[in-house]
C-alpha cells in the first residue's frame, strides 16, 4: 500500500486524495490548521511546516511527498527531500515561490514576460515607475496569491500609497514592480511531466478573474493553433529547465497575439479543475501518476468545459445538478469572504450545448455577471 504525503490540506489536497482512491493509494496530509478540508478524507499531521518533529512524523508515514500549497518553506521541502522522494523538487518549488526568480528564468528561456524591476527601497520604486511607466503593479515577490500582496499603481503620484501598502514587506518577502499588461485574454497551460521526462499538456484554458481570484475557466480556449503551440512549448521549456515532476500551470497573458508569462504554479491548479470531468485523465490523477512514476494518462478533452468558481459561499446546487452535463464540487469549507469554497463544471459535447447550459445556470443562480464573459467568448466567431 503506497501512502502519498501532501503538504497543505486545502481543496487541492482533497481532490488529489479523491482521485487517488481508485488507484488504491493512501494519503497523509500536513497542514497548520486542524480543520483543513482535506482532513475530511485523509489522516492529518497538524503542525508548522518548519517544525522538524512534525515533519519527521510526516516523513516516517509516507512513501513520497508532494504539495497542495506552494508556500511551504523551501528549507522544509529540502529537509524532507533529504529523507524521502519529494516532487516537484525543492529547487523548482523555490523558483516558483519567487516572482523575481521565475520571471528571470522565463526571460533566460526566451519566454516573453511583462516588464519588471526588483524594488528594495522607495527610491527604487520611484525609479522603476519612471522606467516601466504607469499603470503598473507592485507585488510581493513571495507569499502572494489570488491577487493578495499586490497594489495597482494607476499614475506616478500613487507611489506613496503603494509604498504605504507594501513597503514594509520590501525587507522581508521582497517586492517586484511589473508593467500592467492590457491583455485581451488570460490563458493557462496545465501540463504534467513524469519522472522519466514524459511531457503532456491539456488543451489551453482561458481564465477570467474577479479581484485577482479566478472566477471562470473555459476549455478549449479556442485560440489559433500557432498560439496554442507556443504556449505548450513555453510550458515544456520551463518544465525541462526545472526538471519538474508533476502537474503545474503556466499562467499567460495574451496581448496583440503575443504570449507573456505571468507565473508558474508548481502544483495542480484551479484552472485545471475542469479536467476532472472534461478530460480523459484529470490533472489530479496525472499528478499522482507522475509523482509515483506511473505511466501518464491521456490528456485529451471530452467536448467543451466551463468551470465556475464559488467564492465566499456556496450557491444552491440544484441548477447545476439539474443539467445533464453539470458537476458539483463542495469543498466542505466554512463560508468566508474571498474564500474558494467550491466549484461547478459544465461539460458538453458541443459548444452550443455548453452555451445553453451556461445561460440556464447563470440565470437560475442569478450569476449572469459571472457567466457573461464566457458566453461572450463562446458566441464570438472562433
By CB under 6 A, name the binding residues for ligand AMP.
114, 137, 144, 147, 178, 180-181, 186, 209, 212, 251, 262-263
The verdict on whether residue 144 carries a ligand-binding annotation is yes
In eight-state DSSP terms, residue 297 is: P
State how far the Cα of 21 lies from the Cα of 26, in Å rounded to an integer: 7
The verdict on whether residue 99 carries a ligand-binding annotation is yes
Cis peptide before 88 (omega within 30 of 0): yes
The verdict on whether residue 147 carries a ligand-binding annotation is yes
Q: How far is the CB of 223 from ligand AMP (least distance, A)?
A: 17
- Find the length of the chain: 382
State how far the Cα of 203 lies from the Cα of 19, in Å rounded to an integer: 20
- Give Cα separations from 175 to 119, 142, 168 (angstroms): 5, 8, 10
Q: How far is the CB of 171 from ligand AMP (least distance, A)?
A: 21
Q: How far is the CB of 136 from ligand AMP (least distance, A)?
A: 7
Q: How far is the CB of 183 from ligand AMP (least distance, A)?
A: 6
Residue of closest CB approach to ligand AMP = 181
The verdict on whether residue 223 carries a ligand-binding annotation is no
The verdict on whether residue 179 carries a ligand-binding annotation is yes
Could you tell me if 71 and 97 are in contact, meaning their C-beta atoms sit under 8 angstroms apart? yes
Nearer to ligand AMP, 180 or 199 (CB): 180
Instruction: Quote the strand ranges of the chain, DSSP E.
Output: 3-7, 26-31, 44-46, 64-67, 116-119, 136-140, 150-153, 175-179, 185-193, 199-201, 205-210, 213-219, 246-255, 258-265, 304-311, 326-330, 340-348
The verdict on whether residue 148 carries a ligand-binding annotation is yes
Nearer to ligand AMP, 11 or 271 (CB): 271
Nearer to ligand AMP, 45 or 100 (CB): 100
Q: How far is the CB of 340 from ligand AMP (least distance, A)?
A: 14
Paired with 200 in beta bridges are 192
Q: Which residues are annotated as a binding site for ATP?
A: 99, 139, 144-150, 178-181, 186, 209, 262-263
Q: Which residues are annotated as a binding site?
A: 99, 139, 144-150, 178-181, 186, 209, 262-263
Amino acid at each position: 500500500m503506497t501512502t502519498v504525503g501532501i503538504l497543505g490540506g486545502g481543496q487541492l489536497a482533497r481532490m488529489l486524495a479523491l482521485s487517488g482512491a481508485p488507484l488504491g493509494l493512501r494519503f497523509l496530509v500536513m497542514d497548520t490548521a486542524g480543520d483543513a478540508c482535506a482532513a475530511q478524507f485523509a489522516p492529518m499531521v497538524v503542525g508548522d511546516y518548519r517544525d522538524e518533529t512534525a515533519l519527521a512524523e510526516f516523513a516516517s508515514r509516507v512513501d513520497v511527498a508532494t504539495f497542495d500549497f506552494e508556500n511551504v518553506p523551501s528549507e522544509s521541502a529540502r529537509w524532507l527531500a533529504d529523507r524521502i522522494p519529494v516532487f516537484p523538487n525543492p529547487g523548482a518549488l523555490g523558483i516558483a515561490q519567487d516572482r523575481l526568480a521565475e520571471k528571470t528564468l522565463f526571460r533566460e528561456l526566451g519566454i516573453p514576460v511583462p516588464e519588471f524591476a526588483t524594488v528594495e527601497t522607495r527610491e527604487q520604486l520611484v525609479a522603476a515607475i519612471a522606467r516601466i511607466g504607469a499603470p503598473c503593479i507592485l507585488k510581493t515577490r513571495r507569499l502572494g496569491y489570488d491577487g493578495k500582496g499586490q497594489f495597482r499603481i494607476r499614475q506616478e503620484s500613487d507611489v506613496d500609497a503603494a509604498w504605504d501598502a507594501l513597503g514594509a514587506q520590501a525587507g522581508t518577502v521582497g517586492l517586484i514592480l511589473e508593467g500592467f499588461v492590457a491583455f485581451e485574454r488570460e490563458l493557462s497551460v496545465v501540463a504534467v511531466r513524469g519522472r522519466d521526462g514524459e511531457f503532456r499538456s491539456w488543451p489551453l484554458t482561458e481564465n477570467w478573474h474577479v479581484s485577482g481570484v479566478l472566477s471562470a475557466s473555459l476549455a478549449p480556449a479556442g485560440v489559433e493553433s500557432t498560439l496554442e503551440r507556443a504556449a505548450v512549448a513555453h510550458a515544456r521549456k520551463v518544465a525541462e529547465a526545472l526538471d519538474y515532476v508533476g502537474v503545474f500551470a503556466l499562467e499567460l497573458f495574451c496581448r496583440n497575439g503575443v504570449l507573456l508569462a505571468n507565473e508558474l504554479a508548481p502544483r495542480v491548479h484551479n484552472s485545471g479543475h475542469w479536467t476532472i470531468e472534461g478530460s480523459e485523465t484529470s490533472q489530479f490523477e496525472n499528478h499522482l501518476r507522475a509523482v509515483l512514476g506511473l505511466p501518464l494518462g491521456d490528456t485529451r478533452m471530452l467536448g467543451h468545459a466551463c468551470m465556475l468558481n464559488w467564492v465566499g459561499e456556496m450557491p444552491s446546487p440544484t441548477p447545476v445538478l439539474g443539467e445533464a452535463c453539470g458537476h458539483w464540487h463542495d469543498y466542505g469549507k466554512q463560508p468566508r469572504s474571498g474564500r474558494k469554497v467550491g466549484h461547478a463544471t459544465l461539460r458538453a459535447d458541443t459548444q452550443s450545448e455548453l452555451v445553453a447550459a451556461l445561460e440556464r445556470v447563470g440565470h437560475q443562480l442569478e450569476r449572469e455577471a459571472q457567466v457573461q464573459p464566457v458566453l461572450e467568448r463562446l458566441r464570438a466567431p472562433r
